Amino acid sequence: MSATGMTMTALENPALRVLSFGGGVQSTAMLLMALHREIGPLPDAVIMADTGWEGVRTYAHVEWTREQVNRMTNGQVQFIVTSGGNIREDQIRQSQGAEGRVAAVPYFTANGGRGMRQCTSEYKLEPLTQAQRGLLGVMKGSRVPAGTQVEVWIGISTDEIIRAKHAAKPWQVNRFPLIEAGISRNDCRSWLEAKGYPQPPKSACVGCPYHDDWQWADMARNAPADFADACEVDDIIRRGNSKMTNDQFTHRSLRPLRDVKFAGVENGDLFDADCEGMCGL
Domain boundaries, the chain: 2-259
| pLDDT for the residue numbered 281 | 53
Closest by alpha carbon to 176, among 188, 189, 163? 163
Rounded to 10 degrees, what is the CA torsion of 86, 92, 96, 100? 30
- pLDDT tens by residue, 113-165: 999 999 999 999 999 999 999 999 998 889 999 999 999 999 999 999 999 99
Strand partners, 150: 16, 172
Instruction: Tell me the mean pLDDT in the region 45-65.
Output: 97
pLDDT over 70 percentage in the chain: 92
User: DSSP secondary structure string, the chain?
Assistant: -GGGTEESS--SS-SEEEEE--SSHHHHHHHHHHHTTSS-SPPSEEEEE--S-B-HHHHHHHHHHHHHHHHHHTT-SEEEEE-S--HHHHHHHHHTT--S-------EETTS-B----HHIIIIIHHHHHHHHHHHT--TTSPPPTT--EEEE----GGGGGG----SSTTEEEE-HHHHTT--HHHHHHHHHHTTPPPPPP-SBTT-TT--HHHHHHHHHH-HHHHHHHHHHHHHTSS-STT-SS-EESSTTSS-GGG---TTPPTT----PPP-SSS--
| pLDDT for the residue numbered 227 | 97
Instruction: Tell me the mean pLDDT in the region 171-200.
Output: 97
Please determine, for residue 191, whether its predicted confidence score (pLDDT) is greater than 90.
yes
Please determine, for residue 73, whether its predicted confidence score (pLDDT) is greater than 80.
yes
Is the bond preceding residue 198 a cis peptide, omega within 30 degrees?
Answer: no
| pLDDT for the residue numbered 264 | 63
Most confident of 95-104, 133-142, 249-258: 249-258
Please determine, for residue 180, whether its predicted confidence score (pLDDT) is greater than 60.
yes
Instruction: Tell me the mean pLDDT in the region 8-13.
Output: 92
Please determine, for residue 110, whether its predicted confidence score (pLDDT) is greater than 70.
yes
**pLDDT grade for 273, boundaries at 50, 70 and 90:** very low
| pLDDT for the residue numbered 202 | 85
Instruction: Tell me the mean pLDDT in the region 74-95.
Output: 95
| pLDDT for the residue numbered 270 | 38
- pLDDT tens by residue, 194-235: 999 999 998 899 999 999 999 999 999 999 999 999 999 999
Instruction: Tell me the mean pLDDT in the region 250-265.
Output: 90
| pLDDT for the residue numbered 19 | 98
Rounded Cα distance, 25 and 18, in Å:
18
**pLDDT grade for 240, boundaries at 50, 70 and 90:** confident
Mean per-residue pLDDT over the chain, rounded: 91
Instruction: Tell me the mean pLDDT in the region 65-89.
Output: 96
Dihedral angle sign, alpha carbons of residues 264, 231, 117, 163: negative
**pLDDT grade for 275, boundaries at 50, 70 and 90:** very low
* In this structure, CATH architecture of domain 2-259: 3-Layer(aba) Sandwich (3.40)
| pLDDT for the residue numbered 259 | 96
